[in-house]
């Protein structure tokens, strides 16, 4: 062993280290920019007429909190299982992820959550305000009326819903075909509305007298009678027996009436009803011919529905205007005038004019008219008088000096006729009435603005009721505000569907369920625009250890004694849930 | 237990036995196997260490400086361009006095791209304040790496364990892998002399004015000086437990040698054979292997070489505009010694070119047949171009 010697260097060890704790150096005093947690509004949630908190729903989904995610939908929309299936999901069109790869399949996740809750027989924990004295009557148990009753019940009102048909649901029950919406799904959604205390009186036809006489019993009446009459073609022969209304045909099928056709059937129109009628005919074993006076791209029907109709064999004949109908033996001759495009009309669709005198005769076994619907009774529409009338985004409120206040909603007050717009009108009506009862007529418009999602017109019941969502900044997060370095390209979940051959044999649901793992993976694609999902990036990147985790809803706060305001946390926040403000503002 | 190991795995085994806490590295040939083994050990639970992936060698070393400042045992490995990229942080780690251990696989620098062995990469970092230990074979690699932690933690300086690309890093040899229990006895858990602690926050590496900077540098110089004797003590203890020692330098047949070849790395092994052959033919030749390059063991080198008539230094490296780097250092060590022998420098084997026994014998005869060196370093084995 070598002789041990005294080492020179080990003590003392000279290194540049502060003698005292650096805690006395409040580096926060250097700050002129201040980072703050600032949750914002996702574009999908403003695009949703029901204002669903989609970014949060997807976040809860990724965390496996399926019930909480479902309840988050229910706060804004009583029909997740229905909308997950039949909604045309305008949310997905505004999804920021669409600029990165593909939008989130929001409707698939909505349906998954609703179906999962139903399978587990979950009971939602939805806050309901204490009972109020006002009673509200709702005419029509369609999506608009049921939504109005649902939201009114949440706000503490007693509601009676009157429905002329033997079962509630309106267009959902009697119009939308089974292959898009199974009846059991609808029934479970409606029973949940009844569980809130809403009383639904079916088989009760309401006449106009009710509006005048009901004032004693009810403080307000919601009129959501929808479209139940098909418009007339106004051509010779349209009243011949066998020339039928498309909507009525759909209703009869949903009532269980059996139909069969011996040959090809013509459907006149280009809306969703026309498409549904044609697809029903295909399922009844016949050939369907869709006759439309403009072009396919001008059809008001949802594009995906048109696409599936074509896949299933519906033949679309464009630029043909019906001129007359004749019956020869048991065969109908539909005479059509060929049309041509002549510029654009006010809606941006093709304007058309006859192409000379070119006509064509189409021989069919039956003819259905589906060129649009209208209110069956004049009083279903909002009155013309201007006095005391408030035209809102999706509904019309009429305050009368005598009798109950009236609110008109559903298809009759919506430019876009969709289930989710009907829900939006019901929600708007409920909030508007609540404001009207408590703060008066003049407060309605300004107060509605405060519960808009982003810049509106979608409204949030949660914001109105002062829930956590009311703390959010109304700024709508744009794609370039997302830090996409934190996301990888991943493909959107593909909606599994029945094979076409299978579809044609049954009225069974076409869109099949997706598994929990696919749904979670899809939800993980969501940027959660503007929302904090506790990713902890701010915590990891803070060079001053100034992000302090805590028990608050935010889960963390910033220690401004030491935050230098470098802004790293804000830049590294993947989803723009933080903001850098000038100090002192 | 004797195992047949690749030199890279010998490093990895030593790091495992040293119970390193944090590893951060960026892969580069020929170092890659080392970090592959280690990342596997971390992934499969063989090691209870954090393996931090980073985007560059610069970040790897920066990461370890941070980790080591919190008082944990740290390791990295690199080579050539990777080491060059670390340059700034090499200075920082010695200035910060963090005992990081690095395996440095000697590889030539580009261009032209060359992955083969060459000592210029590590020798170019001689002034960064790192201890440098050059290894000859797999056994020496595993032993030296274990010792490096003990040594570095003792004097608070970072340590580079240097091994030749391929000849050592990728060659399988029988290696005695020490028992964990014995290694634990030799190398107890790291007891840091200072520690960053969020509960008692201090500023590290802050501004130092002219009235204190020089003292801090002197402190490092003293630590380097101490390292010479500390290394001896570390070796003593290692030998006591494992029965092996290498020495800062290792003289062979030097007592009566007229000509001494000075070598490092794997060239030493070939030289041993050449020396033995020449000795069998009656030549008075000796061999001095230099293992510890920083700090440079000046006294021991003087002691060994003072009685020789001539010294031939074999360099697998080049300091352009000067000479082979070992030759420079040996000359500097001897120049204040009255009547010191002339130093012949030879540049061989750059970029992995083979250094054969014939070439080494040629060096001996050239040295013997010339009175004085014709140049500071002579390049051998050059082809006509």
Looking at residue A3, what is its pLDDT?
A: 46
ipTM of the complex: 0.74
> Closest residue of A to B203, CA-based?
A18
B195 touches chain A (CB under 8 A): no
pLDDT band at A506 (very low <50, low <70, confident <90, very high): confident
The three-state (H, E, C) secondary structure of A406-444, written as one string: EEECHHHHCCCCCHHHHHHHHHHHHHHHHHHHHHCHHHH
Decide if A575 contacts A43 (C-beta within 8 A). Answer: no
One fold for A22-39+532-582 and A135-228+375-466: no
> Closest residue of B to A3, CA-based?
B233
Angle at A207 between CA A201 and CA A210, to 5 degrees: 80
**Are B216 and A10 an interchain contact pair (Cβ–Cβ within 8 Å)?**
no
Rg of chain B, C-alpha, whole Å: 21
- The answer to whether residue B34 scores a pLDDT higher than 80 is yes
Burial (0-12, 13-18, 19+ Cβ within 10 Å), A357: exposed
Q: Which of A201-215, A492-506, A552-566, B213-227 has the lowest mean pLDDT?
A: A201-215
- Widest distance between CA atoms in chain B: 70
**What digits encode the pLDDT tens for the residues A98-119?**
999 999 999 999 999 999 999 9
Per-residue pLDDT averaged across A179-208, rounded?
94
Please give the Cα distance from A101 to A98 (Å, whole number): 5
Query: Which residue ranges make up each domain of chain A?
Result: 22-39+532-582, 50-125+498-524, 135-228+375-466, 231-372
**Yes or no: is domain B249-379 CATH 3.40.50.2300?**
no
Looking at residue A547, what is its pLDDT?
A: 96
A325 contacts: CB under 8 Å, gap ≥ 6: A235, A236, A237, A238, A240, A243, A332, A333, A334, A335, A367
Decide if A381 contacts A436 (C-beta within 8 A). Answer: no
- In a mutational test of the A interface, the residue from B157, B233, B240 whose CB has the highest number of chain A CBs within 10 Å is B233
Looking at residue A8, what is its pLDDT?
A: 54
Chain A residues near residue B215 by CB distance under 8 angstroms: 14
Given the candidates 3.40.50.970, 3.40.50.300, 3.20.10.10, 3.40.50.2300, the CATH classification of the domain at B2-242 is 3.40.50.970
**What digits encode the pLDDT tens for the residues A566-584?**
999 999 999 999 999 998 7
Per-residue pLDDT averaged across A337-352, rounded?
85
Comparing CA positions, the residue from A102, A104, A103, A118 lying closest to residue A66 is A118
Query: Which residue ranges make up each domain of chain B?
Result: 2-242, 249-379
Decide if B129 contacts B180 (C-beta within 8 A). Answer: no
**Are A2 and B229 an interchain contact pair (Cβ–Cβ within 8 Å)?**
yes
SS3 A267: strand
Please give the Cα distance from A104 to A304 (Å, whole number): 16
- How far is A13 from chain B, CA to nearest CA, in Å? 7
pLDDT band at A585 (very low <50, low <70, confident <90, very high): low
Paired with B252 in beta bridges are B287
Structure tokens at B305: 């070489």
- The answer to whether residue A53 scores a pLDDT higher than 90 is yes
- The answer to whether residue A453 scores a pLDDT higher than 80 is yes
Looking at residue B289, what is its pLDDT?
A: 98
Looking at residue A6, what is its pLDDT?
A: 56
B100 touches chain A (CB under 8 A): no
B198 touches chain A (CB under 8 A): yes
pLDDT band at A377 (very low <50, low <70, confident <90, very high): confident
Closest CB from A7, A15, A20 relative to B96: A15
Decide if A509 contacts A179 (C-beta within 8 A). Answer: yes
Q: If you average pLDDT over every residue of chain B, what do you get?
A: 97
**What digits encode the pLDDT tens for the residues A33-46?**
999 999 999 999 99
Per-residue pLDDT averaged across A442-459, rounded?
94
Q: If you average pLDDT over every residue of chain A, what do you get?
A: 91
**Are B203 and A18 an interchain contact pair (Cβ–Cβ within 8 Å)?**
yes
SS3 A113: helix
**Yes or no: is domain A135-228+375-466 CATH 1.10.510.10?**
no
% of chain A surpassing 90 pLDDT = 69
**Are B194 and A13 an interchain contact pair (Cβ–Cβ within 8 Å)?**
yes
B36 touches chain A (CB under 8 A): no
pLDDT band at A12 (very low <50, low <70, confident <90, very high): low
- The answer to whether residue A4 scores a pLDDT higher than 60 is no
Please give the Cα distance from A144 to A53 (Å, whole number): 20
pTM for the structure as a whole: 0.75
Chain B residues near residue A20 by CB distance under 8 angstroms: 202
Paired with B204 in beta bridges are A17
Chain A residues near residue B155 by CB distance under 8 angstroms: 7, 9-10
Closest CB from A9, A16, A22 relative to B223: A9
- How far is A12 from chain B, CA to nearest CA, in Å? 9
> Closest residue of B to A1, CA-based?
B236
**Are B155 and A9 an interchain contact pair (Cβ–Cβ within 8 Å)?**
yes
Pairing between strand A199-201 and A220-223?
A: unpaired
- The answer to whether residue A145 scores a pLDDT higher than 50 is yes
- The answer to whether residue A10 scores a pLDDT higher than 70 is no
Per-residue pLDDT averaged across A365-387, rounded?
87
DSSP letter for each residue of B226-268:
HHHHHHHHHHHHHHHHHS----SEEEES-TT-SEEEEE-TTHH
**Are B156 and A17 an interchain contact pair (Cβ–Cβ within 8 Å)?**
no
- The answer to whether residue A9 scores a pLDDT higher than 60 is no
Given the candidates 3.90.1150.10, 3.30.70.20, 3.90.180.10, 3.40.1830.10, the CATH classification of the domain at A22-39+532-582 is 3.30.70.20
Overall fold of domain A231-372: FAD/NAD(P)-binding domain (3.50.50)
One fold for B2-242 and B249-379: yes
Looking at residue A2, what is its pLDDT?
A: 41
- How far is B302 from chain A, CA to nearest CA, in Å? 19
- In a mutational test of the A interface, the residue from B151, B219, B228 whose CB has the highest number of chain A CBs within 10 Å is B219
Looking at residue A1, what is its pLDDT?
A: 37
**Residue A236 to residues A319, A367, B143, Cα–Cα distance (Å):** 19, 14, 105
Looking at residue A261, what is its pLDDT?
A: 85
- How far is B229 from chain A, CA to nearest CA, in Å? 8
- How far is B213 from chain A, CA to nearest CA, in Å? 9
DSSP letter for each residue of A41-90:
B-HHHHHSTT---HHHHHHHHHTT-HHHHHHHHHTT-S-HHHHHHH---H
**Are A18 and B236 an interchain contact pair (Cβ–Cβ within 8 Å)?**
no
Comparing CA positions, the residue from B140, B133, B131 lying closest to residue B171 is B140
Comparing CA positions, the residue from B239, B221, B242, B241 lying closest to residue B231 is B239
Q: How crowded is residue B217: how many other Cβ atoms within 10 Å of its Cβ?
A: 14
pLDDT band at A212 (very low <50, low <70, confident <90, very high): confident
């Amino acid at each position: 062993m070598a002789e041990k010697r005294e080492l020179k260097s080990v003590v003392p060890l000279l290194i540049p280290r502060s003698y005292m704790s650096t805690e006395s150096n409040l580096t926060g005093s250097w700050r002129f920019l201040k980072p703050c947690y600032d949750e914002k509004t996702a574009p999908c949630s403003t695009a949703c007429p029901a204002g669903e908190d989609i970014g949060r729903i997807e976040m809860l989904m990724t965390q496996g909190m399926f019930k909480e995610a479902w309840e988050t939908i229910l706060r804004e929309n009583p029909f997740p299982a229905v909308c997950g299936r039949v909604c045309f999901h305008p949310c997905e069109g505004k999804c920021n992820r669409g600029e990165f790869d593909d939008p989130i399949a929001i409707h698939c996740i909505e349906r998954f959550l609703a179906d999962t809750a139903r399978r587990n027989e979950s009971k939602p924990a939805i806050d309901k305000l204490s009972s109020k004295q006002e009673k509200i009557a709702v005419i029509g148990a369609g999506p608009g009326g049921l939504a109005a009753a649902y939201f009114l019940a949440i706000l503490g009102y007693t509601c009676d819903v009157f429905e002329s048909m033997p079962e509630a649901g309106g267009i959902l029950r009697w119009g939308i075909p089974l292959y898009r919406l199974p009846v059991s799904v609808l029934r479970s959604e409606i029973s949940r509305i009844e569980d809130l205390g809403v009383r639904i009186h079916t088989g009760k036809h309401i006449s106009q007298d009710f509006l005048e006489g009901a004032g004693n019993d009810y403080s307000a009446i919601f009129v959501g009678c929808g479209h139940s009459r098909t418009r007339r073609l106004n051509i010779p022969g349209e009243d011949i027996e066998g020339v039928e209304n498309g909507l009525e045909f759909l209703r009869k099928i949903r009532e269980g009436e059996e139909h069969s056709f011996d040959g090809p059937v013509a459907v006149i129109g280009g809306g969703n009803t026309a498409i549904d009628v044609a697809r029903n005919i295909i399922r009844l074993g016949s050939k369907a011919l869709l006759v439309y006076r403009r072009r396919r791209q001008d059809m008001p029907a949802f594009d995906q529905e048109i696409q599936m109709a074509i896949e299933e064999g519906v033949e679309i004949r464009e630029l043909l205007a019906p001129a007359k109908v004749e019956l020869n033996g048991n065969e109908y001759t539909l005479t059509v005038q060929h049309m041509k495009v002549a510029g654009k009309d006010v809606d941006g669709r093709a304007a058309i004019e006859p192409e000379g005198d070119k006509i064509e005769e189409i021989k069919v076994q039956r003819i259905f008219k589906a060129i649009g619907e209208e209110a069956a009774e004049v009083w279903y529409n909002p009155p013309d008088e201007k006095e005391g009338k408030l035209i809102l985004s999706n509904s019309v409120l009429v305050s009368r000096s005598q009798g109950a206040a009236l609110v008109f909603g559903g298809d009759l007050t919506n430019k876009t006729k969709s289930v989710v717009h009907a829900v939006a009108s019901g929600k708007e009506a409920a909030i508007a009435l609540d404001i009207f009862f408590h703060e008066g007529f003049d407060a309605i418009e300004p107060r509605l603005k405060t519960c808009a999602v982003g810049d509106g017109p979608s409204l949030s019941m949660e914001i109105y009721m002062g829930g956590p969502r009311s703390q959010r900044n109304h700024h709508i997060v744009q794609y370039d505000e997302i830090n996409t370095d934190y996301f990888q390209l991943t493909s959107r979940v593909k909606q599994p569907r029945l094979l076409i051959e299978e579809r044609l044999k049954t009225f069974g649901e076409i869109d099949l369920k997706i598994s929990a793992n696919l749904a979670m993976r899809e939800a993980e694609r969501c940027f959660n625009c503007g929302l904090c999902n506790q990713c902890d990036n701010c915590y990891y990147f803070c060079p001053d250890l100034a992000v302090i985790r805590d028990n608050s809803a935010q889960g963390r706060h910033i220690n401004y004694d030491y935050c230098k305001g470098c802004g790293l946390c804000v830049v590294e926040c993947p989803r723009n849930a933080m903001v850098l403000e000038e100090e002192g503002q | 237990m004797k195992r047949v190991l690749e030199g890279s795995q010998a490093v990895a085994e030593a790091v495992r036995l040293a119970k390193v806490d944090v590893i951060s590295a960026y892969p580069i040939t020929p170092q890659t196997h080392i970090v592959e083994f280690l990342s596997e050990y971390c992934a499969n639970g063989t090691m209870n260490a954090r393996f931090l992936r980073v985007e560059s060698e610069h970040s790897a070393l920066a990461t370890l400086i941070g980790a080591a400042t919190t008082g944990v045992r740290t390791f990295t490995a690199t080579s050539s361009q990777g080491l060059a990229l670390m340059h700034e942080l090499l200075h920082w780690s010695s200035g910060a006095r963090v005992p990081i251990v690095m395996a440095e696989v000697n590889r030539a620098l580009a261009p032209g791209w060359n992955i083969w062995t060459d000592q210029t990469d590590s020798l170019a970092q001689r002034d960064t304040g790192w201890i440098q230990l050059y290894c000859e074979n797999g056994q020496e690699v595993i032993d030296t790496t274990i010792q490096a932690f003990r040594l570095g933690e003792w004097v608070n300086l970072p340590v580079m364990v240097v091994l030749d690309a391929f000849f050592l890093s990728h060659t399988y040899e029988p290696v005695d892998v020490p028992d964990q229990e014995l290694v634990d006895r030799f190398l107890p858990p790291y007891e840091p002399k200072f520690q960053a602690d969020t509960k008692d926050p201090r500023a590290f590496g802050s501004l130092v004015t002219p009235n204190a900077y020089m003292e801090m540098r002197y402190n490092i110089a003293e630590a380097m000086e101490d390292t010479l004797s500390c290394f001896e003590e570390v070796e003593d203890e290692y030998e006591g437990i494992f029965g092996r020692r290498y020495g800062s330098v290792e003289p062979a047949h030097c007592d009566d040698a007229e000509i001494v070849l000075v070598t490092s790395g794997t060239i030493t092994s070939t030289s041993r054979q050449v020396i033995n052959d020449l000795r069998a033919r009656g030549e008075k030749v000796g061999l001095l292997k230099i293992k510890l390059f920083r700090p440079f063991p000046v006294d021991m080198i003087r002691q060994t070489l003072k009685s020789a008539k001539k010294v031939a230094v074999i360099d697998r490296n080049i300091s352009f505009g000067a000479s082979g780097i070992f030759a420079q250092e040996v000359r500097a060590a001897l120049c204040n010694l009255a009547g010191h022998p002339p130093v012949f420098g030879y540049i061989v084997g750059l970029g992995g070119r083979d250094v054969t026994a014939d070439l080494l014998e040629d060096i001996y005869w050239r040295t013997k047949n010339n009175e004085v060196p014709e140049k500071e370093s002579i390049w051998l084995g050059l082809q006509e171009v």
